[in-house]
Amino acid sequence: MKKKALVTGASGGIGSEIARCLDRDGFEVLLHYNRAREHAAGLSDELGGAPFFRADFENPSEIESMFSEIDEAHGGVDLLVNNAGLAYYGLLTDMKPEDWRRLFAVNVDGAYHCCRLAIPNMVRRKSGKIINIASVWGLCGASCETAYSAAKSALIGFTKALAKELGPSGITVNCVAPGVIMTGMLDSLADEEIDSLRTQTPLGVLGKPSDVAELVSFLASDKAGFITGQVISPNGGFVIS
């Protein structure tokens, strides 16, 4: 029987590539989306009819409904990839309180609710994997991305603590913190800003969604069975620690 993997934010650039890699690896992939139904449906078709579910992560009841559907139809998941995310670029003093709350609701609270609902089935089976997608900004911070940096840093701390909590149940929890990846999240940046980020990257290139997805593929595999509580950053040398 195929293991089941839920990828949140699967309609985005990184999420869709993660879904493709996990499908290639033999998982039964379940797709989450919020607004981009057309993209989710197209990815579903590409993956041979993969089930897809809508939930707005600002609304916990919608996450609970999604997991109820998944539990009833698929018996829970063996792998949870918390990839759904929201960015904000601008001065902190210009950021409205409701934007701050929304960013944390999607990036942090969403991961909490998904983990809370996925973990019981994993504990019963004494196996499972959780992979949280953070950001290099969660490691080093970024000017004009204070809220995003704070949220991703919270997700990193969440990962480390949850790994200790779930280790005795045979569940691994790891975090992937990508560097600058060429996705739609860069659309708000000017060409000179993107060139500057490329120059700051020792390898001289920006990352591709597949650079993140292949790392997730490894962490989801049996080869990574002894790895938990770790933060791995595919960033081309942008941050070396």
The sign of the dihedral angle between the CA atoms of 71, 73, 79, 83 is negative
Outline where the chain has alpha helix (H). Answer: 13-24, 37-46, 60-74, 97-104, 110-125, 137-140, 146-166, 191-200, 209-220
Q: What is the largest CA-CA distance in the chain?
A: 52
Strand 28-33 and strand 52-54: pairing? parallel
Phi then psi dihedrals of residue 83, to 5 deg: -110, -20
Phi then psi dihedrals of residue 4, to 5 deg: -105, 135
Q: How are strands ordered across the β-sheet holding 128-133?
A: 52-54, 28-33, 4-7, 79-82, 128-133, 171-176, 231-232
For residue 241, give Cα distances in angstroms to 49, 231, 235. 42, 11, 12
Cβ 57 vs Cβ 82: under 8 Å: no
Query: Among 126, 127, 133, which residue's Cα sits nearest to residue 216?
Result: 133
**Catalytic residue positions?**
148
